[in-house]
A and B are shown apart, each in its own frame.
Chain A
Amino acid sequence: MWLTFRLAWRHLMRSRRRSLLTVLAVLFPVLMLDLMWGLSGAMRRNLFENITTLETGHVQIHEAGYCKQGNTPSLIRDVRPVLEAVSRESAVRSFGVRLELPALAAHGDRSQGVIVRGVEPGQQGLDTVARWVREGRALRALDHKVVVAGAALLKKLDLALGDPLILITSHPQAGTGVLLPTVVGKILPPSRELSRFVVQVPLNDARTLVKNSQAATSVVLLLSGVSGVEDQKRIDTVAQRLQAALGKGYDVETWDKLSPETAAMFNIMGPLYAAFGMVFFVLAGLVVLNTLYLSVVERTRELGVVLALGSSRRLVLGWIETEAALLAALGCALGSALGVLIVRWGGRGFHLPGLYDELLNTLGMNATLYTRMSLGEALFSPVAMFLVALVAAYYPGWRAARLEPVEAMRFWG
C-alpha cells in the first residue's frame, strides 16, 4: 500500500506539469457544478420568494372543499376563528386575508372576465404587486372604491388612470354584487395571468360584494425561519399543527400543493444539474484516462521491469489507480474548496451585471442574488468526480497490469 502510494506520488511529482493540468481538468467541473448549484440555489430562493409572497404564501387556509364549485373558491363566512388559531401559532411571521371572486370587468362597451382579489394593503411580506406598479400607485390602507389592474387588462378595456371600472361579481354562496372603483394603479407583472385577469381591490370593498364583513376565501401565511424549499419540513409541520387546531372544517394547504408546477420544477432542478454535471465529469474522466494512458505508454519499460522482478499485477493496477486517486483527490478538494468559498461569498448577496439585473427586475424577481448550496450538493460534485476518475483510470491500469514483462522491457518509448 505504502509502496504503491510512494511510487504513484513520486511519479506524479516527476511529471509535474502534466499532473497539474490533470488536477485542473478535475478541479474545473467540480468548481463549475458548485457554482451552478450556488446560482441555482439563488434562483430557487428567488422563485420561491416570488411565488410564496405573491401567490401562495407558505401555507393557505381555506374552507374545506375549497374549489368544489368549479373554479369558484368557497367562502369562509366568518374568518375570525381562523385568525385566532393563526395568531396562536408561534411559527407564523405574517398573514393576510384574501377574498377572491370571479367577476365581469366592464368599461364602455368592452368587458373581460376577471378575478377580483380583495386584499389588505400593506400586508407584511405578502403584498408584492407594489414593485410592479408602472403608473399611479399601489393600494393603501383605508383606500375605498379603488382598483389596481394589470396593463394588459387596462389596454383591453381601454382604461386609463382615474377612469371608473364596473365590477360585477357572482358567487354561488353570496349572489351577485356590483362595485364601481376608480383605477389608481397600473401594474406590469411578469405573469400574463396576473396582468390580464386579476384586479386588486381593498378587502373591505370586496366584502361589500358578498355582503359579509367577515368573509374571506383564504388566509395566507408566511412562516418564520423559512427561506426556501429546503425548509419544506418546517412548512409541513406547521401546516399539520394548524390543520389539527382548526379541524375538519378547513383545508390547510402548503405552497407546493397550491403551485404544483413550481414544486415540480424545483424537484427536477437538482437531478437536472447533477446530470449536466455528469457530462463535465465524464469529460474530465476522459482527460484522466488519456493522461494515465499516455503515462503508462511512456513507462512501459519501467512497468515491465517491475513485473519481471515479480510484482503482482494487482500492485501495478493499484499503482495506476493510486495515481488517479491522488490527482482526483487534489482536484476535487481544490475545486470543492474554491466552489464552497465562492458560493459562501455569493451568499452575502450580489448583483449580476447590467442586463441580467434588469431582466430579473422585469421578471419580478429580486435583483440581489444569494447563492446557496446544500451539504448534499457540496458533497455530490467531488465524490462523483472522484469516482469517475477512478473508473477512468481502470483501463490504463488494466493495460499496465496485463503487460508481458519481456515485451515491455524491449519497449523504447
Chain B
Amino acid sequence: MPDCVVRCEKLFKTYVAEDIETPALRGVDLTIEAGAFAALAGPSGSGKTTLLQLVGGLLSPSSGRVWVERQRLNDLGADALARLRLRRVGFVFQAYNLIPVLNARENAEFVMELQGVSAAERRQRALAVLCSLEMEHYAERFPNKLSGGQQQRVAVARAVAANPALVLADEPTANLDSKNSQKLMDLMRKLNRERGTTFLFASHDPEVLEHVDRVIGLSDGKIASDRAAQF
C-alpha cells in the first residue's frame, strides 16, 4: 500500500460506562490515500469523531485493525502511539485548544519543539506556515488576544508546521462564521496542494464538505456512503 496513509479494517468501538454499552463504530473499513483531502460526514453520534480519534491513536478500538502509513496502531503501546502522533500526525481540534501561555508562533512551534527541531529551523518553519495562513502579523500575540478564526488558523499552523503525513481535523469550522470557515478551508486546501499533506476532516458543516475531494458518510457507526465530492 505505497500510497495509503490510513487503513481501517472491520473497526468496532463500543464505549462502556456503568455497565451500559454504547456502540460508536460497527465494522468500518476505510482507506485514505496519500495527499487526500477527505471528510467524514454524518450527524452527531454517527461515529465521526470516534473514527478520527482511532486513526489518530488517541483511542483503542474494541476490535478491528488500524494502520497509519505502515504502522499498525493495535501493536503500539501508549508511548509508541504518542511518538507516532508527534512525528506523523497533526491535529486540529474543534475548540482550537491552543496552549494559553505560548504566543501564536510558539504554539505553531510547539510540536516541532517536542520533536527536537532546532530553534532557528522551527522558528523559520512556523513563521512560513503562519505567513501562508495570513497570520504573520499576529505571530507574537497570545491566544487570548486572537479572534476565534485567528486561533483556529494558529491551530492549523501547529498541525502542519511539523510536516506530518496526516492532519486530522475535528469540526475545524464549528466555532467560525461562514466567511472565516471558507477562508480556513481555502488555506488548508492550499497547504494540501503545496505540501501534499493528507487531510481528514470530521464535520457536518457544508462549508467543509463543499471543499473536500471525498466525503465518507457515516451513519450509526457504519459507512453509509463514500463518494467523490460533486463540484
Contact = CB atoms under 8 A, between A and B. Distances in A.
Given A10-B102, A305-B99, A406-B59, A310 B113 contact: no
A309 B79 contact: no
Interface in B56-100: 56, 58-59, 78-79, 82-87, 89, 91, 93, 97, 99-100
A310 B82 contact: yes
Interface string B107-131: 0001101100000000000000000
B114 A315 contact: yes
Given A3-B114, A313-B79, A308 B58 contact: yes
A133 interface: no
Nearest to B98: A305
A302 interface: yes
B101 interface: yes
Interface in A1-38: 3, 7, 10-11, 14
Most buried by B among A305, A306, A310: A310
Nearest to B103: A10
Given A10-B102, A406-B53, A406-B58, A310 B111 contact: yes
Given A3-B113, A305-B93, A311 B86 contact: yes
B58 A14 contact: no
A307 interface: yes
Given A10-B101, A302-B99, A302-B100, A309 B110 contact: yes
A214 B176 CA distance: 108
Size band of the interface chain A makes with B: 20 to 34
A307 B82 contact: yes
A301 interface: yes
Contact of B87 (A301, A308, A310, A405): A310
Nearest to B109: A3
Nearest to B82: A310
A7 B103 CA distance: 11
A310 B83 contact: yes
A14 B143 CA distance: 13
Interface string B20-47: 0000000000000000000000000000
Interface string A246-259: 00000000000000
Contacts of B86: 309-311
Given A309-B114, A405-B58, A406-B58, A14 B101 contact: yes
A267 interface: no
Contact residues of B: prevailing secondary structure? helix
Most buried by A among B86, B111, B113, B114: B114
Interface in A305-332: 305-313, 315
Contact of A409 (B79, B87, B97): B97
A306 B99 CA distance: 8
Contacts of A305: 93, 97, 99
Contacts of A409: 93, 97
A301 B97 contact: yes
B58 A309 contact: no
Nearest to B119: A2
Contacts of B85: 308-310
Contacts of B53: 406
Interface in A376-413: 405-406, 409
A90 to B, nearest CB: 65
Given A3-B113, A406-B53, A406-B58, A312 B101 contact: no
Contacts of A312: 79, 82, 114
Contact of A7 (B79, B91, B101, B111): B101
Nearest to B164: A310
Given A10-B102, A14-B101, A311 B79 contact: no
A7 B109 CA distance: 13
A306 B114 CA distance: 10
A14 B100 contact: yes
A313 B82 CA distance: 9
A311 B99 contact: no
A11 B101 contact: yes
Interface string B162-199: 00000000000000000000000000000000000000
Nearest to A306: B99
A305 B83 CA distance: 14
Given A406-B53, A406-B58, A406-B59, A311 B114 contact: yes
Contacts of B114: 3, 309-312, 315
Contacts of B113: 3
A366 B170 CA distance: 77
Given A14-B101, A306-B99, A307-B82, 15 more contacts: A3-B114, A7-B101, A7-B102, A301-B97, A308-B91, A309-B85, A309-B158, A310-B86, A310-B87, A311-B86, A312-B79, A313-B79, A406-B59, A409-B93, A409-B97
8 contacts: A3-B113, A11-B101, A305-B93, A306-B99, A308-B91, A309-B111, A309-B158, A310-B86
Interface of B: 53, 56, 58-59, 78-79, 82-87, 89, 91, 93, 97, 99-102, 110-111, 113-114, 158
Q: Which 6 A-B pairs have the closest CB atoms?
A: A310-B86, A10-B101, A310-B85, A305-B97, A406-B58, A310-B82
